[in-house]
Structures are given as structure tokens and as C-alpha cells.
Amino acid sequence: MAAGAVLTQEYKEGKDRKVLYESINFSKLESKYSKPKLELCGVAKIHTKLQKILWGQHFELKVDGKALIEMINTSCLPNATMTRWVAFIQIFSFDLGHKPGKTLTIPDGLSRRPKNSEEEDGDTPEFDEEENWIKPHLGFGAKNVKLHNFSELQVPTKQEGFWKRMQ
């Protein structure tokens, strides 16, 4: 079992271009989760894997499960693990929407991908095995902010001297 995702980018009004395909296998333990918990785990793992791309960007998250939308929008879930996943997912800036499963054929296909012979169960760590799953980011909390060079920053940082040398 795996989680599948497709990252698209709008390039013409109303047209999307696929820029990244991702598939992450679940561990043996995760594969035993109930369907809603497994779907939430998949969203958390995909966000973890793509956080360097998604962090600081506003994006649309389209899922095929209405129950999954309810879980992401609520603050009280049945256990601490699911609550941690939701807390992590909610850190990102996104609009959440439902899209029928029959229209999400590529992510669905990626989620059914068999494990590669080179992949082992330990290759994809469980979500809670990640040591630092919240990483600091300069653009945290900023929506649609594009900085083209570091001189535009008005906030001094610890690495200010390093960036001045780089320019």
C-alpha cells in the first residue's frame, strides 16, 4: 500500500501542468490502519516529503474522501497520533477541496504502486519517526510572497553575514 500525489502548477488560465509525481509506501504497521486513518497518514507523509517545495506557498489540496476533509478541519480526533498529523498538515497554507475519486486517477494509480524490489520496509520512516518534522522556514506564514533577492529582506537573520558574502 502507498500514498500517491501529483503536484501541478497553473501555467495558463484554467490549465494545469503536472510537475511532480510522488508515491510513498506505507510500513507494515501503517498498512493495518483503518481507511480514514490511513488516508490521513498518507496526506501527512506526502506533506512531509514535499515540505521543502510546499512551505511558504499557498496551494490547493484536493482529496477524494469527504471524511478526510472533516478530519483535517477538526481539532479533536480520537488519538494523539492523528492529532499530530493534522497539526502538521494545518501548518501549511492551502485551500482544501473534495474531488471525486474517479477524477483523481493518477494519484490513485500511484497509491496502488507495488513496492519496488529495492525498497525495504524501513526506507520510508513512519511519520512520528521523523525527528524534526517542523523545520524553520523564512517564508513561514507568508502567502504568495515572492522574494527575488536577499537584499529585499528587511529582517536581520542569523545567516545575514553569509548571504551578504554570497551576493
Question: In 3D, which of 16, 40, 19 has the Cα closest to residue 30?
Answer: 40
CA distance linking residue 122 with residue 30, whole number of Å? 12
CATH tag, 2-141: 3.30.420
In order along its 167 residues, the chain shows pLDDT tens digits of 777 777 878 887 878 887 887 878 888 898 899 888 988 998 899 899 888 888 888 888 888 778 888 888 887 778 889 999 999 999 998 888 766 655 555 555 445 555 665 555 545 555 555 544 444 444 444 444 444 444 444 544 444 444 455 54
Residue count of the chain: 167
pTM over 0.75: no
Q: Where are the domains of the chain?
A: 2-141
80: part of which helix (H) or strand (E)? Answer: helix 80-89
Q: Would you list the DSSP string of 5-45?
A: EEEEEEEETTEEEEEEEEEEEPPTTGGGS-HHHHHHHHHHH
